[in-house]
Every structure is written in C-alpha cells, then in structure tokens.
Amino acid sequence: MDATSTVPVTGLILSGGGARAAYQVGVLSAIAELLPAGARNPFPVIVGTSAGAINATVLACGALQFQHACQRLTEVWRDFHIHQVYRSDWSGIIRQASRFVGQNFFGIRGRTPTALLDNAPLRELLTRELDFSGITAAVKTRHLRAVAITAFGYDSGHSMTFYQGHGAIDPWLRHRRVGFPTRLNVEHLMASSAIPLIFPAVKLGREYLGDGSVRQAAPISPALHLGANRVLIVGVSNNAHADASHSEDASAATGRAPTLAQIGGHLLNSTFIDSLESDTEMLERINLMSQMIPPAERQGRLRVKPVETLVIAPSEPLAEIAARFRHELPRSLRLFLRGSGTTKKGGSAVLSYLLFESGYCSELIALGRRDALAKRDQLIQFLGLELAGVH
C-alpha cells in the first residue's frame, strides 16, 4: 500500500451466485482459522450481493464474535437442503409453474411477481435465524463500520446499495448507482437474492427490486464509498485461474442447438460473474496507472489513491462439481427441469446455482477452504495478522 495512505480499512466483497456462495463460506472458515482466538472482526466494511448478501449479513450480525459467525455459517451451509430455500414438493412446483404460465402466456394477472420457483422457505429461514440487532451493536462498539447489500430496481434500472453503518457515511448518486442508508431487514436480502425469472421480485417502497448482480457495473464501488481502502474479493468463478480451454464456460462444439439450460447458464454467468471480474481488472489497471503518478500529484490535484486488492476464486470449475452431485436434486425437480436440459451435462452451469444440497455445498466449502489456505501467506500479510503474532 502507498506510504501516504491512511489507516487501512479492509472491505470484504462477497459476490452473488446462488448455491455457489457456499464457496465463500469455505474461504471465511479458513480466515477464521488464521485469526487468533477471540480476534476482532477483520472486515470493518462488508458488502454482499445476492446469496453473497446473505453471507455478508450473517457476518455483520455476528461481527462481535466473528469466528463464531463463520462457524455458524459453515454449519448451516453444510446441512443445507433445497426445501429450505425454495419449494421442491410436487404441489409447490405445479402451483408455481401454473402461475408462471398463466401470467406470462395467458395474461392472467396475479398478486405476486412472476417466477419459476417459490422461495418463501428462504424468507422463513432468514426470519428465524437472523438477529439484525447484532449489526447495530457491532456498529456502536466499532467492530463494524458498515454492511451493505445491493439490489436492482426494475423500474429505474438502478443498482441500489442499502447500507447500515456509521452516520457519518454519506449516501451517493452515480450513473445508475445509488447508495441509501437504512436499517437492513429480511426484505432487503430477499430482494438482493431474487434471481430474475427464477425467484420473484420484492417490492421495497414504490419499486420492485431483484437480484443485485443484474447490471451491477461496479461491484467493488460500494465498499470504497463506505470507506474501504483495501478489499478482499471472494468470487464464485474459476475463470481467473483457467485458460480458455479449461474455463467452466468452455465446451466442445456439438453442432446441436443449445438447450434452454445452456442458454440460461450463460445468462447467469454473465449476470453473476462477468461484472465482478471486469471491475477487478479495471481496479488493477487504475492501481498500476496510479503508481506512475508522482506522489505529490496523487495527493494533490488528482487525488488518486491505490486500492490494495486480494482475490480468492475457485481453482476448479463449479459447474463440473455440480454435475457430479446432480443426483442430489429431489426427484420432483429432476423431472420438472429435465426438459430444459438442466439435469444433463450441458445444463450443469444452471445446476451450480440452484443445487442447495449438503453434498454439493460441502464440496464447495472444502474447495474454498483449500483455496484460501493456499494463499495463507498472502492473507496473513493482507490482513496484518503478522502483527498479531500469527505465523
């Protein structure tokens, strides 16, 4: 970090990705292992989107006991089942599918937004498990500067970041990006994780909101607005580690028309992955350019400050892991999704976002832990743990 920088404020960025967010839990569990017993929350700024927003909020609610919060996250994800996130019983699937077809093909207006799956069980789980008063306590005792989650406004087309933290943090307004101070609740999380067409949009105020990864051109920006000057980014794609021939988006040409699941997989990857990777690359370029500017110019007229970044991303394609665990899908869902190609090899990308089952999630947790520990020395240096006597 530049010698003239202020005291480091570390931000944690957890991207979206449905069931892929189990990978983040593995990374967090490794970080908790590296910390001394009873250590303070190492991330004064925590930012999450979609399923990453749920993980971020759990950490923020438990910021007074960071290691315990990480342990709790791990226990929940290792024991996850699809019925805890969305209805997978026959009556629930048929009812939701009928509503979807009626609204979109026959124009039958309904009270609830259109979606393929009913994620009411997720709302019940979050309401039961989360204690949002923990955020207030953590902010008050300076264990947390701010936590933020991002959603997307269907009417405005804006990326909306809702944050709770110190009163001195000003809201912001940029091109299609706005930040609002608020007291976070379950509805913010439901909105941020409402994957388009798959889960229903959520009305907050006067506007319906959906998954925050949609049109999120600058996923790192909220953390910087909230005061972070270095960021740990936990991604959910292995594209940063793989060449084109081994990337999870790569596939052998078959000459056959793409299935609905293949199309959906690319759309989901574009929504959840591409913007974070592009923003990370842009930040790295800005950091390189800032190093070429004389220090006096950086602190003077230009006011350019480099932002130290560390990225931890899957070392293996998550879609391939999902394909190995497709048998975990409930029989009702296997039949329901069979026609779209989701249960076949070409549909494993979609499956990797929807497979909230213990075997698959446990595998991602283990991978996240391995990948984080593989960067043990970098994490220790980045988080300043050497000063705490961790070697």
Query: Could you tell me if 332 and 388 are in contact, meaning their C-beta atoms sit under 8 angstroms apart?
Result: no
State the Cα–Cα distance between residues 151 and 207, nearest whole angstrom. 11
Strands of 105-218 (E only): list them.
Answer: 146-153, 159-165, 172-174, 177-181, 202-204, 207-211
**What is the amino acid identity at position 83?**
H
Full-model pTM: 0.86
State the Cα–Cα distance between residues 344 and 283, nearest whole angstrom. 37
Tallying the residues shown for the chain, one arrives at 391
50 is catalytic: yes
**What is the amino acid identity at position 14?**
L
State the Cα–Cα distance between residues 100 and 391, nearest whole angstrom. 55
pLDDT at 61: 97
Supply 349's token pair.
Answer: 């990308």
**What is the amino acid identity at position 354?**
L
Mean pLDDT per segment of 10 residues, for the chain of length 391 residues? 63 91 97 92 95 96 96 95 93 83 72 82 96 96 96 93 92 90 97 91 93 80 92 80 42 67 75 63 60 56 68 92 92 80 76 94 97 95 67 39
**Per residue in 18-35, pLDDT tens?**
999 999 999 999 999 999
Secondary structure (3-state) at 14: strand
State the Cα–Cα distance between residues 46 and 60, nearest whole angstrom. 7
State the Cα–Cα distance between residues 73 and 306, nearest whole angstrom. 32
pLDDT at 156: 92
φ and ψ at residue 202, rounded to 5 degrees:
-120, 135
Query: Could you tell me if 197 and 116 are in contact, meaning their C-beta atoms sit under 8 angstroms apart?
Result: yes
CB atoms within 10 A of CB 299: 15
Supply 75's token pair.
Answer: 């226990």
State the Cα–Cα distance between residues 191 and 123, nearest whole angstrom. 11
pLDDT at 384: 87
φ and ψ at residue 329, rounded to 5 degrees:
-60, 135
**Per residue in 121-145, pLDDT tens?**
999 999 999 999 999 999 999 999 9
Q: Hunting for tokens 């000057």 — which residue is that?
A: 229
Q: Which of 91, 112, 94, 93 is nearest to 103 (CA)?
A: 112
State the Cα–Cα distance between residues 99 and 118, nearest whole angstrom. 11
pLDDT at 278: 65
Query: Could you tell me if 64 and 141 are in contact, meaning their C-beta atoms sit under 8 angstroms apart?
Result: yes
Q: Hunting for tokens 């931890």 — which residue is that?
A: 312
Q: Hunting for tokens 């594209």 — which residue is that?
A: 239
State the Cα–Cα distance between residues 366 and 23, nearest whole angstrom. 8
Selecting among 15, 29, 50, 193, the annotated active-site residue is: 50
Q: Which of 14, 19, 126, 130 is nearest to 69 (CA)?
A: 130
2 is catalytic: no
Secondary structure (3-state) at 12: strand
Supply 157's token pair.
Answer: 């087309």
State the Cα–Cα distance between residues 102 and 108, nearest whole angstrom. 5
pLDDT at 121: 96
Secondary structure (3-state) at 177: strand
* DSSP label of 316: S
C-alpha pair distances (Å), 120 with each of 186, 253, 351:
12, 39, 20
- The strand pairing partners of 356, in sequence order, are none
Selecting among 118, 211, 249, 279, the annotated active-site residue is: 211
200-206 long-range Cβ contacts below 8 angstroms, 24+ apart: 200/112, 200/113, 200/114, 200/115, 200/118, 200/119, 201/113, 201/115, 201/154, 202/113, 202/151, 204/151
Q: Hunting for tokens 């609002």 — which residue is that?
A: 180
Q: Hunting for tokens 């991002």 — which residue is that?
A: 150
pLDDT at 245: 37
CB atoms within 10 A of CB 68: 12
